[in-house]
Amino acid sequence: MRVFVDTNIVLDCMADRQPFAADARKLLILGAIHEVELWLCPTQLTDLFYLLTDGGKSHLAAEAKSRLATVRKFVHVGLMGEDVIDAALRSSWDDFEDACLYQCALQVKPDVIITRNGKDFERSRIPVLTCAEFFDYLEQEKGLVYEEMLL
């Protein structure tokens, strides 16, 4: 299954934002073990770097780059060329950043977009779910249950 992941999901995991971190971590683990194919847009990586470095603080840069390099081992990055930008500019979406993410997602052809802010993708033709809804779908429709093991 091909999954386009919104920035907030990756940040939930990386910044341990509660109560969302556990589901976000499970999703990224599914990508790491190749149960799902995770996709991001290139600009999301720069946004994540900025957020993880608290606005670009240089003393946080090495750690942020290391963490992003780890994620890049199992997350694919879609293309964001002129066609994506032009389509976002032509779109009726008010938020240009979300329009760019969506246009990049259309290029990737995911089965689903995972986000915590469904309102950002209200006009999406691609199904949009939260992490929790995605795991409910996997359980109900596919009979798959993913839980973290506490050791």
pLDDT at 146: 87
Tell me if 108 is assigned to some domain.
yes
Q: Is residue 151 part of a domain?
A: no
Residue 149 placed within a domain = no
In a domain, 148, yes or no: no
Spatial contact of 126 and 117, defined as CB atoms under 8 Å apart: no
Span 90-106, pLDDT tens digits: 999 999 999 999 999 99
Domain count, the chain: 1
Q: What angle do CA 33, 150, 3 make, to 5 degrees?
A: 30
CA distance 33 to 150: 18
Residues of the chain with pLDDT under 50: none
Sheet (strand 112-114) strand order: 75-77, 37-40, 2-5, 112-114, 128-129
Closest CA to 116 of 16, 3, 23: 23
Q: Does residue 24 lie within any of the structural domains?
A: yes
Extract the tokens encoding 60: 């946080």
For 110, the domain range is 2-142
Structural domain includes residue 147:
no
22-48: pLDDT as tens digits: 999 999 999 999 999 999 999 999 999
pLDDT at 147: 82
What CATH number is associated with residue 113?
A: 3.40.50.1010
Q: Is residue 81 part of a domain?
A: yes
- Is residue 93 within 8 Å of 99, Cβ to Cβ? yes
Residues 6+ apart with CB under 8 A from 96: 88, 89
Percent of residues, the chain, with pLDDT higher than 70: 98
Retrieve residue 68's tokens: 């992003």
Q: Is residue 115 included in any domain, yes or no?
A: yes
